[in-house]
Amino acid sequence: MTVALKAACEDVLRRLGLDVPGPPKVAAVERAAAAIEGAGNGLQQPARVEDWDAIALRLGDKVENGVPLTTGELCKAAWCLWTTRPALGGSPKLLDALLRQVVAAERRRPFRAFASSFVAAFDPARPGINVTGGVLALEALRWGKPWQGLQEVHSFFHPEEGPRRLARAAIESGGTIVETLRQHGLGTMAAGGGYAKAVTAAILRELAGGAEVDHRRRLERIRQVALRPDGTLLFEDQAVLVAEALLRPFRRDDPDIAIQDLFLQTVISLFGDPRLRPGRWNQLRELEDIVQRWLTRQSLRQFLEIVDQTADLSMWKYRRKFWEAVHNAGLVKGAWVVLGPDGVSRARRAFGKSASFAQFSGGGRKQVASGHAVLLLQVGRGVVADWSHNGKCNIWADADMVGAPKLFRGTYDSDEVRIAAGTGNLETDSLFSIMHMSSETYNWQSKVADRLFKMTGFRLQQTLYRVR
C-alpha cells in the first residue's frame, strides 16, 4: 500500500464515530485498493481527501445544477455513491446524471472508479446498485480486460447472478474467491469487500444445498471462504448461512462418528454448545436438533470410551452394551458426563478442546477417584446417574423432584449425582439406586430396564443388551 493511500485510509478511519453509515471506511477502501497490484488490474483507489461527506455534498450540488464534473471529480463521485452522507447513489436523479457522464467519458478512469466502488461497497440491497450494475455491465464491454471477461463469463455486474456464478466457479475449481478473480485479471480482492462478501454468501448457499457431497471437503471450503485463520466468522451477519452450510446436508442422514466429531468442533467453537448457550441458537432451531442429537451421542461416548480405558473389561462390556441399547432405542433425551481429573485430560485428547462436559468439584461424602465418571441421562421425565467403576446406577423418577441432578452444569460434587443409600440398593416409587451386581446374569440390567419402562412406557428387551 502506498504512503498516500495509507494516509487516505487513516483520514477516513477517523470518521468512524458517525452513527450513520459513514464514508468509505479504511476496511472498505483497503478492500478496493488492496486489489491494485500493478497497472491494468482494473481496480482504482479513491483519491486522498479530507472530508468525504463534504465532497459528496459539493459534487451533488454541482450535478443537481447541471454542472458537468471533471474527470477527477467524477472519479471522486464514485466513492460518494453509497457510503457518504449524502449518498449520491440514493438519489435516482443524481445517480442517473453521474452514470450518463461515465458513459460519455472518453477516458477509462471514471469507469474504473465506479466499478471499484461497486466492488468495495457492493450490497444488493443498496439503492441504485441494480441501475449502476446495468450501466457498468454495458461499459465493461467497451473498456475490455479484466471487466469484459468477468461480465461475459460471470455476469459480474448483475447483483444476483454475478456473485452466484462466481461462487459456482470457485466451488468447481476448488479455489478461493481471490484466486477465481485473479484468473480474470482482477488481482487480489481482500476477503472483507462487499462483493467478496456476496460471493461468500452465495458459496455458503450452494454448499448448504449440496454442491459438495464430500463432507470433509465441504468443511474445508467453509473454513476457507467464511472463517478467519483464528476460526472466527469472517462476516458476523453470515452466521446463519455458515450454520446452514455446515449442518443442512445432514438433515436426513447422520454421518459416521468421525465426521460428527469433526463438524461438532467447528460448530461448537462458532456458536457454542446449545445445551449451555441456548440463546445463541435462537435463529438455528431447525439445525439445533441435529447438534443436540450428536452431542447426546458424544456425551454417551465420552463416558463409555473414557471409562473403557480403565475399567474391568469383564464388568464393563455389560455396562457399555446396556447403555448403548438404551440410546439406540431412542429413550435418551439428553446426556451429560461428569469426569474426574484423569477423564478430563483423556476427553480433551479424544474429543478436542471444544468438547463439553462437567467436572467433579471435590465436595460430597463419596470420595471421587481421578478416573471416576458419572453419566447423566434425561430419560422420560426422570434422570439417571450411572457411576463408573464400583459406583451405583441412580434413578430419580422426576427430574423436578428435590435432589435430582440438573444436566449441563459445569461442576458437581459427589452427593449431587447419587442417591445416598448406604451399601445396599434402594427401590421406591420415586427413587432407585442399584449396584452393578451379577452383570453376566443380567440381574441389574433387567431391574434398570423395568424402571425405565415405568418412566417411558418402552420395554427394553434383553436381546437388545445381551452381550454375545
pLDDT for residue 291 is more than 90: yes
Count Cβ atoms within 10 A of the Cβ of residue 251 and give its class: 0-12 exposed, 13-18 middle, 19 or more buried: exposed
Q: What is the amino acid identity at position 331? A: L
**Grid coordinates of 432:** 432407585
- Taking only the tens place, the pLDDT of each residue in 48-93 is 667 999 999 999 999 999 999 999 999 999 999 999 999 999 999 9
Most confident of 144-158, 172-186, 300-314: 144-158
Which whole number is the average pLDDT over 320-336?
A: 95
Q: Which pLDDT belongs to residue 178? A: 79
pLDDT for residue 468 is more than 80: yes
| Distance of alpha carbon 400 from alpha carbon 406, whole angstroms | 9
Cell 440438573 sits on residue: 406
| Long-range CB contacts for residues 130-134, cutoff 8 Å, separation at least 24 | 130/159, 131/92, 131/95, 131/96, 131/99, 132/81, 132/89, 132/95, 132/99, 132/157, 133/157, 133/158, 133/159, 133/162
Count Cβ atoms within 10 A of the Cβ of residue 57 and give its class: 0-12 exposed, 13-18 middle, 19 or more buried: middle
Whether residue 339 contacts residue 376, with contact meaning beta carbons closer than 8 Å, is answered with no
Q: Which pLDDT belongs to residue 13? A: 33
Cell 466457479 sits on residue: 169
End-to-end CA distance of the chain: 70
Whether residue 126 contacts residue 82, with contact meaning beta carbons closer than 8 Å, is answered with yes
Q: HSE on the CB side for 35, CA within 13 Å?
A: 37
The confidence band for 457, taking pLDDT boundaries of 50, 70 and 90, is very high
| Distance of alpha carbon 246 from alpha carbon 253, whole angstroms | 14
Question: Cβ atoms within 10 A of the Cβ of 263, count?
Answer: 22
Domain boundaries, the chain: 1-140, 160-253, 288-465
Whether residue 378 contacts residue 407, with contact meaning beta carbons closer than 8 Å, is answered with yes
- 275: DSSP letter: T
Distances (CA, A) of 111 to 118, 175, 190, 446, 458: 10, 28, 21, 79, 72
**Grid coordinates of 450:** 423395568
- Taking only the tens place, the pLDDT of each residue in 172-204 is 988 888 787 777 777 655 445 799 899 999 999
The confidence band for 312, taking pLDDT boundaries of 50, 70 and 90, is low
Share of the chain above pLDDT 70, in %: 87
The confidence band for 285, taking pLDDT boundaries of 50, 70 and 90, is confident
pLDDT for residue 22 is more than 60: no
**Grid coordinates of 58:** 459539493
Q: Where are the alpha helices (DSSP H) in 65-123?
A: 71-78, 92-104, 109-120
pLDDT for residue 10 is more than 80: no
